[in-house]
């Protein structure tokens, strides 16, 4: 994924089954639950992009969160803090997949940052 590309978006739901039916009907998305993250349902919107749906405040946050791919998570977090943002969720590893953090931007909107694992 290219730096700065929005590659993932998470939708919180109070009723996950109802939300799945909604997005299946409206957008045609197909959902799959992952063994590693019970209650978190993934969908794809194209090559290298998609998102997740989960119970608000449990398997996802409480607001919609778009994830932006960055080259180096620590550099992006430092830049966010330097420019008026704040950390909601510090850098966190997802073994074998990558790393993420959640921030507030300078205007108070929540965003996610994603760092792919190093190329082997």
pTM for this one?
0.87
What the chain holds in terms of domains, given with CATH numbers, is 1-62 (3.10.180.10), 70-120 (3.10.180.10)
Alpha-carbon distance of 80 to 103, in angstroms, equals 8
Residue 102 has pLDDT above 60, yes or no: yes
User: What per-residue confidence (pLDDT) applies to 57?
Assistant: 93
Averaged pLDDT, 21-45: 93
pLDDT tier for residue 35 given thresholds of 50, 70 and 90: confident
């Amino acid at each position: 994924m290219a730096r700065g590309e929005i590659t993932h978006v998470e939708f919180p739901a109070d009723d996950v089954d109802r939300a799945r039916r909604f997005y299946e009907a409206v957008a045609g998305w197909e959902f799959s639950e992952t063994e590693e993250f019970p209650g978190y349902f993934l969908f794809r919107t194209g090559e290298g992009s998609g998102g997740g749906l989960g119970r608000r405040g449990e398997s996802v946050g409480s607001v919609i969160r778009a994830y932006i791919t960055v080259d180096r998570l620590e550099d992006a977090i430092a830049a966010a803090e330097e420019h008026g943002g704040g950390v909601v969720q510090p850098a966190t590893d997802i073994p074998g997949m990558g790393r993420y953090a959640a921030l507030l931007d300078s205007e108070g909107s929540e965003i996610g940052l994603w760092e792919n694992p190093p190329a082997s």
